[in-house]
Structure 1
Amino acid sequence: MQYPEALTRGRLIRRYKRFLSDVEIAGPDGPVEAVAHCANPGSMMGLAEPGATVWLLPNRNPTAKLDWRWELTDVGDSLVCINTSRANTVVGEALTAGDIPDLAAYSKVRPEVKYGTSSRIDFLLEEEGLPPAYVEVKSVTLRRPDGGDPNAAEFPDSVTKRGAKHLEELIEVGKTGARPVMFFLVQRGDCTHFRPASDIDPAYAASLQKAVLDGVEVLCHTARISTEGIVLGPPLPLHLD
């Protein structure tokens, strides 16, 4: 995934109301304050500290209410993509190109297909002679350097009943003979493995354990992130216990 134009560097002033942020950027006569859309419903723990260096994409949609979209946060040794919608774009491009070895046998990739109870699966993969694969994608941005597992990428960063619902629906999909897949994309490059954040959302961690026991496959890859774009990186080990 390539950004359609150059990102603009800024300094975060604050994030508020979940989807809004005030950012200081360079103007023709000195620094100016801009409001940017924050496409992330989570807590963004460690990624929304005032004073952080952030990167914004101009919003060229004529109907958009805000002129900027917050895309990246610089955490010193890594860029982190805070825009959760980018995960589906990156994974979708990798699926189409056959760049995910565990899923490369599928030639047909269909996004946003209805399934379960009033839900849409992120990607439905089909191939003659193979069971259909239902792939749910989650964007992972949490790392806690001062925590008990400082190099781990963790999910979720806040309680997610919706995420647990998706796991239950994947379990039901597996009962039909299809292939249910939970795909975690770690949108930062400074983690060595993945684990559920069981202290933040013990119910989700328990649901993930149950899903694995009930046949849901769990895949995790990191992402290679720059101010030019994002591409799929290598797989990360899973620590699900």
Structure 2
Amino acid sequence: MRFSKPLVRGQLVKRYKRFLADVILDSGEAITAHCANPGSMLGLNTPGSLVYLSKSDDPKRKLPYSWEIMEADGGLVGINTAHPNGLVADAILDGTIAELAGYETLRREVKYGKNSRVDILLTSPDKPDTYVEVKNVHLMRDKGIAEFPDSVTSRGAKHLYELADMVEAGRRAVMVFLVQRTDCTLFKLADDIDKAYAKAFAEATERGVETLIYRCDITPEEIRASTRLDFVVPSV
């Protein structure tokens, strides 16, 4: 995914009310940006951090700037949770995620389960329908190890159980954790943050849900999924 226009740099003043961030641009202008991230952003709220913003030309938008990327721990981190589904879809279509290659059709936001929508549905006459759920990952507490989740996510646990139901109905189900950090080489579940999610993950895995972890290459010009990471088996 290439950004359509150059990103604007600034320094983070504070993130608040979940979806707002005050930033001082390099030009000296003080602005409020939209933060498209409902999580806690644990470890990514440090005032003074270098951030990169996109700017919309839509006159109807109350906040023209959107927070896209930041510098943290010596690397770049993508914080916009609106992007991962598209990034994974692109990586499937261009063959980067080889484990999900070879399907005839890819559809997004398809209804399934109990009033849910799967992020990506892959279909082909010679393969079982494949349900792909995507989770954005940007938490790192131990150097080089990405973690999910960064806050309690009952919705995430619900998705795991619904994916497991698809497997038992004869379909294939895959959980893709997309690490929007350039400084991680491993992935693990943050079971101390959300034990219920870790339990649901263990049960879903036992019922046949597959797991893939891919890290992104990130620059101020582009974000793309690139490298598969190893998974540290959870303690639950």
- With the shorter chain as reference, the TM-score category is over 0.9
SS in 1 for 2:197: helix
Q: Distance in 2 between matches of 1:103 and 1:216?
A: 14
Spell out, residue by residue over 1:153-184, the C-alpha distance to the aligned partner (whole angstroms, 9 max, x if none): 00000000010011011011111100011000
> Partner residue of 1:119?
116
In the superposition, the TM-score normalised over structure 2's length comes to 0.97
The worse-fitting range, judged by mean Cα deviation, of 86-95 and 1-10 is: 86-95
Q: Which amino acid aligns with 1:215?
A: G
> Partner residue of 1:232?
225
> Partner residue of 2:61?
64
> Partner residue of 1:7?
7
Query: What displacement does 1:217 show?
Result: 0.3
1:38 and 2:35 are equivalent in the alignment? yes
> Partner residue of 2:24?
24
SS in 2 for 1:177: coil
Q: Distance in 2 between matches of 1:49 and 1:107?
A: 44
1:81 and 2:74 are equivalent in the alignment? no
> Partner residue of 2:213?
220
SS in 1 for 2:140: coil
Does the 8 Å contact 2:8/2:52 carry over to 1?
yes
Q: Distance in 2 between matches of 1:137 and 1:104?
A: 16
SS in 2 for 1:238: strand
Q: Distance in 2 between matches of 1:85 and 1:107?
A: 25
Q: Distance in 2 between matches of 1:89 and 1:125?
A: 14
> Partner residue of 1:109?
106
SS in 2 for 1:207: helix
RMSD between aligned residues: 1.0
Query: What displacement does 1:141 show?
Result: 0.2
Structure 2 alignment gaps of length 5 or more: none
SS in 2 for 1:132: strand
Aligned residues: 234
Q: Distance in 2 between matches of 1:37 and 1:178?
A: 38
Match 2:91 to one of 89, 94, 100: 94
Query: What displacement does 1:97 show?
Result: 1.8
Does the 8 Å contact 1:220/1:236 carry over to 2?
yes
Structure 1 alignment gaps of length 5 or more: none
Spell out, residue by residue over 1:42-92, the C-alpha distance to the aligned partner (whole angstroms, 9 max, x if none): 110111111111000002223211010000110142110000111111111
Query: What displacement does 1:240 show?
Result: 2.5
Please list every run of at least 4 consecutive aligned residues from structure 1 whose deviation after the TM superposition is greater than 6 angstroms. none
> Partner residue of 2:185?
192
Query: What displacement does 1:26 show?
Result: 3.1
SS in 2 for 1:41: coil
> Partner residue of 1:160?
153
Query: What displacement does 1:107 show?
Result: 2.6
Q: Distance in 1 between matches of 2:173 and 2:39?
A: 25
Q: Distance in 2 between matches of 1:128 and 1:240?
A: 34
Match 1:205 to one of 198, 201, 206: 198
Does the 8 Å contact 1:9/1:56 carry over to 2?
yes
1:129 and 2:126 are equivalent in the alignment? yes
